[in-house]
Structures are given as C-alpha cells and as structure tokens.
Amino acid sequence: MNWYGIRAIYKFEMARTWRTLMQSIASPVLSTSLYFIVFGAAIGSRMGDIDGVSYGAFIIPGLIMLSLLSESISNASFGIFFPKFSGTIYEVLSAPVSAFEVVAGYVGAAATKSIILGGLILLTARFFVDYDILHPFWMLAFLVLTAVTFSMFGFIIGIWADDFQKLQIIPLMVVTPLTFLGGAFYSINMLPEFWQKVTLFNPVVYLISGFRWAFYGVSDVNVVISLGMTLLFLLLCLTGVWWIFRTGYRIKT
C-alpha cells in the first residue's frame, strides 16, 4: 500500500479547501443559516410540529443532507476534474498508486470536507433552534456513509465530465431537486398517497429519513431500509469507480 501516495493526494486536496475557505466552508454555512432563518425561525414559527418535532428542528437533518450531498459531489468531482482539465493528471497516472489509493485520497479528502461542513452546520443550527440527537453513533454513521458515498459519486461525475457544464449538470439538475423532493423540508407522509409511492423511488428519501431517525427517532421509512439503500448506493458507486479504473474510461487512452 502506498500510504505516502494517499497522504499526498489527501493533503493536496485539503490544502485546496483551506485556500478556498470562503467558497468551501463559509459559503455553504451561510446559505444553510439563511434556510434556518427563513424556514426555521420566520416560517417555521407559524407551522405546527411534524411527528412531534418542531419544524425548525425537523428540517435540520434535511438541511445538513442538502449541503452534504451537494458539497461531497462538488468537492470530489472538481478534485479529479481539474487535474484532467489542467493536464496534471499525468502525474497521478504515472505514479505507483493503485486505483484504490487514488480514490482513497480524493474521496477521503472530499468526504472529510463534507463531514466538517456537516458539523459546522449542526453547530450553526444551535444558534437558531433547539434539537436533540437520540442516536449519536448512527447520526455519525449516516453522516460519514453519505459523505463517502456521494464523494465517490462526485468522483465518477468528475471523471465523466469533459467540460465545466457537465460538472455542474448532475448536481444542479438531478441531485438538488431530488434532495428538495426527498423530504428535506417535509415528511413524505404529508404528501398525497400516490406521490408518497412515487417519492419512494427517490434515493435521497432514504438518506434523509435515516439521518432524521438518528436525531429524533422518527422516520418516513424503516431505518434498516434507509441503511440498506445507503449501502446499496455506496456499492453502486464502488462498482462504477472499479469499472472506470479497469477500463481507463476518460482517464487513459
């Protein structure tokens, strides 16, 4: 195992985060704070509890997931896309690092950033609403699992994208709508029955539901199913990454 190689990629990516602190950390924290002010404090104060949880507290897991998904994808996709774009990928390709080590470096750094961000949003939320964490271990487990899975998904997008537009298209056109419609701001039980069934095809529902369960012990779907779906998506991403390195898709000619 080339530990120094993994560390080099990880350190390089983390250094990029510190260089772009405003963009990587401050900006998502600010925009999430605005959500808390608008939906939690202003609108939320006029809304009733959902499943026995105040609306301001109810949206915390969904808002963290919203940032976690978009930032994991964006960090990991940009992390691998930029070396391809600038040509510096030659160095990674010619180095004695395995596919696993490359992914561990890039995905590890992207997931770390997202987890830090999730923690900061959680701390920020404390300024606006009161909340409890009933199952801290599972909260952390869902946080880490989701960050790793979507960082890996972002890595695949970064490999697939051959221009900046493609880099943005899946996060903006697919992931953000799925997150908004995945129960970030409401319980899917509030939807008409037909749409409740349709919503179950949205994978983000399982992530948010499981994460919310870790906070308040309430969920839209069974937590075991949530965990299973998260692991399934992780497996799909792992398969995608394995196939990319096996075939050299868009990284090797």
Chain residues in the site for other proteins (CB under 8 A): 2, 4-5, 7-9, 11-12, 15-16, 19, 86-88, 90-98, 248, 252-253
Cβ proximity of 139 and 164 under 8 Å? no
Kindly state the tokens that stand for 24: 């990587």
CB of 4 vs other proteins, minimal distance in Å = 5
CB of 184 vs other proteins, minimal distance in Å = 34
- Among residues 117, 106, 55, 109, the alpha carbon closest in space to that of 241 is found at 106
Beta carbon nearer to other proteins, 95 or 200: 95
Cβ proximity of 247 and 240 under 8 Å? no
Beta carbon nearer to other proteins, 46 or 246: 246
CB of 103 vs other proteins, minimal distance in Å = 14
CB of 247 vs other proteins, minimal distance in Å = 9
Beta carbon nearer to other proteins, 87 or 192: 87
Cβ proximity of 183 and 209 under 8 Å? yes
Residues 6+ apart with CB under 8 A from 196: 188, 189
Beta carbon nearer to other proteins, 48 or 96: 96
- Among residues 30, 114, 14, 17, the alpha carbon closest in space to that of 72 is found at 114
